[in-house]
Amino acid sequence: MTLSLGDGRPILAFDVGGTDIKSALFDAGGHALGVERTPTPLAGSETPVALTARLAELAAELTSRFPRTTPTAAGVIVPGIVDSTRGIGVYASNLGWHDAPIRELAADALGMPVAFDHDVRAAAWAEHLMGGARAFDDVFVMVIGTGIAGSLIVDGRLHPAGGYAGEIGHSPVAGGSECPCGAYGCLETVASAGAIARRYTELSGHTTDGARAVFARAAAGDTVATAVVDAAIDALVLALAQLTAMLAPQAVVIGGGLSRAGDALFEPLRTRLDARLSFHRRPQLLPAQLGEDAGLLGAAIIARERTDAAA
């Protein structure tokens, strides 16, 4: 990681996913030390305790490797529905918890204050301060990967709504299928990177290396790939048109694996969204800039901000 947060208090940062944990120690200059990925411990109903114990082990390893840097707080971010005000992991299907007191457990395990938040919300905040969303006070940051998630920034401030805002991946669109969330026709059943690859395989009978490979096949004239890509883009346009009509963001910043399709995604998305709108303010559609580092940077940023505010 080459980006620096700038001067401030040393911080531990943990970006927890359903498969692995990305961890780092940020020094007083804001430089990331010891960045690595390790498996996320999954233990059913005991996952919150197992996870926070693992965070304590990672913290001990980092501070042992870099003894000149002593962290004063930690940032922990997780997927799912997150109530950052209460410090609760409300629900995370891939981590198997409901109403888990992650912030309290992590603070006890680490022995220091913990800032706790949603992974995409923290990544969006990093993009707002340092990346593709930094020029805007009203912006929606959307991550399109295995699923689709987003975060709202309104008047230069995160809008979490108790952890429920930004779930654009579960907005209804035409042509969707049953979603693991329990609803039918969610955006991410059509337009996520996982859905694009899956739908192509189902319709063509051929396996693919992923969504970007489907985009490449569409560009090469594969009619099935073209149909799958067109359906995904149309679904994204519908969701973004609804977002634009209700919230009028200045920009929509798109990250995640699918954003690396580049112009093959952004050009038709811009053209079709423009055609769909009438009097509305057109949001700029821009790629995210921080890549896979956004979540870890966001975890460090919120830890610094909230610890400073409490001091």
Joined together, the tokens standing for residue 81 give 């529905």
pLDDT bin (cut points 50, 70, 90) of residue 308 is confident
Mean pLDDT of 258-263: 91
Task: Say yes or no to pLDDT of 174 above 80.
Answer: no
> Does 204 lie in the same domain as 87?
no
> Does 298 lie in the same domain as 277?
no
pTM for this model (two decimals): 0.93
Residue 6 lies in a domain: no
Euclidean distance between CA atoms 284 and 301, whole angstroms: 25
Domain count within the chain: 2
> Does 283 lie in the same domain as 139?
yes
**CATH number of the domain that residue 77 is part of:** 3.30.420.40
Mean pLDDT of 257-278: 94
> Does 257 lie in the same domain as 144?
yes
Joined together, the tokens standing for residue 218 give 């569409």
Output the CA torsion sign for 294, 300, 302, 304: negative
* Percentage, residues of the chain above pLDDT 90: 82
What is the residue range of 191's domain? 133-288
SS3 for 79-135 is: CCEEECCCCEEEEECCCCEEEECHHHHHHHHHCCCEEEEEHHHHHHHHHHHHCCCCC
> Does 276 lie in the same domain as 138?
yes
Euclidean distance between CA atoms 45 and 57, whole angstroms: 20
Whole-number pLDDT of residue 2: 62
> Does 297 lie in the same domain as 284?
no
- What angle, rounded to 10 degrees, do the helices at 294-310 and 119-130 form? 90
In terms of C-beta distances under 8 Å and separation of at least 24 residues, what long-range contacts does 88-94 make, across chains too?
89/48, 90/163, 92/18, 93/180, 93/181, 94/17, 94/18
Mean pLDDT of 43-59: 95
> Does 284 lie in the same domain as 138?
yes
> Does 191 lie in the same domain as 54?
no
> Does 144 lie in the same domain as 28?
no
Helix (H) or strand (E) holding 190: helix 188-191
Residue 3 lies in a domain: no
pLDDT bin (cut points 50, 70, 90) of residue 21 is very high
> Does 282 lie in the same domain as 148?
yes
Whole-number pLDDT of residue 179: 87
